Each structure stands twice: as structure tokens, then as C-alpha cells.
Amino acid sequence: MTVRQWRRANVSASEHGCDDGASSQNRTETTDISVVLCTYNRAAILPGALTCLAAMKVADDLRWEIVVVDNNSDDLTHTVVKEFSSVSPVPVRYAFERKQGLSHARQLGVSLARGDIIAFTDDDVAVDVAWLNELWTAFTSTDAVCVGGPILPKWEAEPPDWLVEDLHGALALLELGEQVRVLDVPRLWGANMAFRASVFQRHGGFDSELGRTADKLYAGEETDLMRRILCAGGKLVYYPSARVTHFVPATRLRKGYFRRWRFHQGELKARSALIDRDRQFARVPLHMWRYVIFATYAWFFRRLSFNREAFLYELDLIEFAGYFLSRWQARSRGAR
């Protein structure tokens, strides 16, 4: 089965409200790169992301398209995309995914994409003017199956002093230096990542149990896929010249956001946890209880000295609370 046959077998565009803004292009025509942008109720900022895509300086012989997946928005997202597609210099298609969740939206985008390379970005991201050219160069000059690059911040407000680099992952920020790097761990984020289309045939798609939803700050669907790629011997490459800028709103620069994020990460770990062979107490492995004791002392004494590391240990404890509560609720439902 070819990649294109696999896509057609996995999705029907009409079932997902696909509005093909590129009707003049044959549905089976080969495209070099498909840019998939998933969005949810961001009609106010979506035009900025689309405008940056259209403003890129792309090589004349590089064929590409934009696929916008609307993940069940109830705002003017469809109108924004329709107006943009009418003036866009590149083909733009719109699809509506009713199942809430970023993984569902990304998977629909994969199924509809015609490109040999499928690149992903977000509705709050401004891509660099050379982003697409650099991604294409990365794939054509290496044997990588997945490529990503820097995700730099555009702060709406001055970041607080407690926002240390260890917490930047929660904001989908990434910077690994100025050298091309082959990664041995899945450390590329969804705001700036691209895959060879054959990856999704060989390794499957994004796990719908992972990824952000309207009310949960879950994550990990992209790193889960990258982990499968690495286990199969595939190559992940960090390409520093393929950069984007990520808008960070002031609402994400509050401790409450990070507390909520880590609690949800604890829930997610509990849901996806394998049976642990370690001894357990109250359905939690003993090694986790030992760390909780250590983290409690570390948090307490750093809090007394006003050390900003206290917040990191607080977040560890909050993640444990999410894990414990989720495991305890599973017990009450009769789950393992």
C-alpha cells in the first residue's frame, strides 16, 4: 500500500467537513511539503500565523500547500481561513475535526496532506521567512525522518524570575544551540516539527489518548511518535536554521498555569503507566513515595530561604498529586 492509498483508507474528507481551497489543483498531484496548522477558537490571532506562512520566501521549484484543521471551533475560524485562501499565493485547504483534541486534529491533517514531507506549526506561531526552505534542506541533505528547530519566545509580558529554563518546555519553547544535532531522545516540539509522510504508514499516527484538549493540558503525542521512530532506527535531527517564534501570553506566565500543567501531567502519567514491578503503597510505587519525601524537604527549606528552585519542587509534588489522585480514582472504578 502506498502512503497516498493509506491516507485515503484512513479518512474521508467529506466526513470531516473538508473545504478544498485548492480546487484547481488535482487531488492526486504530488506536493513536496504540506504545512498542517491545527487551531481551536483562535480566530483573533490565526490571521497572523497564516500571513507569516504566506510571506515565506520559498524556492520557485518547491511545491507546497497549507492545510488548516479546525478542531471544533465555535468562533469565526472558518471565515478567517476562507478569506485568507482567497488571496493566498499558495493552495490552502480547510478541514473541520469534530473530535476534540490536538491529536485528532493532527491526525486528520496527516490524512489530508498531499506532501512527501508533512510539517506542523501552531496558530500562535510566526514562522521564519526561510522556515520551509530550511526544513526542505534538512531533509534533502540528511537521512532524517523527523526534523525540528528552535522555538523562540515572543513574550507578551516580562517573564518572571522564577521562570527558569527547566520550565520552558511547558511553553513549547526550544533552543538547542547553533549546530545541527542528531537526537537520541525525542526532544522536538509540535510548534516546529516535520516528518517524512512515510513515517505515518510505518509507525502509526498520533495517539489520541495523548495531546492537549479543551480542558486538559496533556501533551506527549509528538514525543510518543518520535520514540517509536527512534526505536525503529529512524533519525531525528535538530536543524537550528529552521526557526519559529512562539507567542507566549501573559496568562501563561503565572504560577497557576504551571501548577495546572503539572497536575495534568501527573494524571496523564497515571493513565499511561505500565504495571510497575516495584513494591507499591496505595497503588503508587515506593520509589515515588521516597522522592515525595525528598521533594517535600527540598521544597520546605528552599522556600524558607526564598530560593526560586522551591517552585520546581512544588511542581514535582503537584505532579505526584495528579498521579496519586488518578490512580486512586482508577481503583474506585475497579481498574488495575
CATH of residue 145? 3.90.550.10
- The whole-chain average pLDDT of the chain stands at 85
pLDDT tens figures, 64-95? 999 999 999 999 999 999 999 999 999 999 99
Is there a single domain that holds both residue 32 and residue 180? yes
DSSP state of 306: T
DSSP state of 278: S
**Cell numbers at 37, concatenated:** 496548522
Is there a single domain that holds both residue 105 and residue 172? yes
CA distance 7 to 110: 8
Is there a single domain that holds both residue 180 and residue 67? yes
Is there a single domain that holds both residue 221 and residue 269? no
Is there a single domain that holds both residue 175 and residue 324? no
User: Whole-model pTM?
Assistant: 0.82
If DSSP codes are grouped into helix, strand and coil, which group holds residue 254?
coil
Q: How far is CA 120 from CA 38, 43, 116, 281, 321, in A?
A: 8, 18, 13, 42, 33
Asked whether 177 and 241 are in contact (CB, 8 A), the reply is: no
| No. of helices (H) and no. of strands (E), the chain | 10, 13
Is there a single domain that holds both residue 70 and residue 206? yes
Is there a single domain that holds both residue 269 and residue 165? no
Is there a single domain that holds both residue 101 and residue 145? yes
Q: Which residues contact 226 (CB under 8 A, 6 or more apart)?
A: 146, 186, 188, 236
Give the count of domains, the chain: 2
DSSP state of 125: E
Residue 136: per-residue pLDDT: 97
CA distance 256 to 190: 23
Residue 170: per-residue pLDDT: 86
Print pLDDT tens along the chain (336 aa).
Answer: 333 333 434 444 434 555 654 433 434 467 999 999 999 999 999 999 999 999 999 999 999 999 999 999 999 999 999 999 999 999 999 999 999 888 899 999 999 999 999 999 999 999 999 999 999 999 999 999 999 999 999 999 999 999 998 899 889 899 999 999 999 988 899 899 999 999 998 888 887 777 566 565 566 788 888 989 999 899 999 999 999 999 999 999 999 999 998 998 888 777 765 445 567 666 677 778 888 899 898 888 888 888 888 899 899 999 888 888 877 776 655 554
H helix or E strand, kind and range, residue 327: helix 310-332
**Residue range of the domain that includes 307:** 255-332
H helix or E strand, kind and range, residue 317: helix 310-332
Q: For residue 304, with 0-12 CB atoms within 10 Å meaning exposed, 13-18 middle and 19 or more buried, which class applies?
A: exposed
Is there a single domain that holds both residue 224 and residue 304? no
Final residue in a domain of this structure, among 253, 283, 318: 253
Q: How far is CA 236 from CA 127, 149, 172, 211, 260, in A?
A: 20, 11, 18, 20, 30
Residue 17: per-residue pLDDT: 58
End-to-end CA distance of the chain: 38
Final residue in a domain of this structure, among 217, 237, 253: 253
Final residue in a domain of this structure, among 253, 288, 321: 253
Least Cα distance to 56 among 121, 112, 114 occurs for 121
Asked whether 178 and 119 are in contact (CB, 8 A), the reply is: no
Is there a single domain that holds both residue 319 and residue 235? no
Pairing of strands 193-196, 244-248: unpaired
Give the bridge partners for 68, in sequence order: 37, 94
Which ranges of 219-285 does DSSP label H, i.e. alpha helix? 221-231, 255-272
Is there a single domain that holds both residue 201 and residue 297? no
Is there a single domain that holds both residue 36 and residue 150? yes
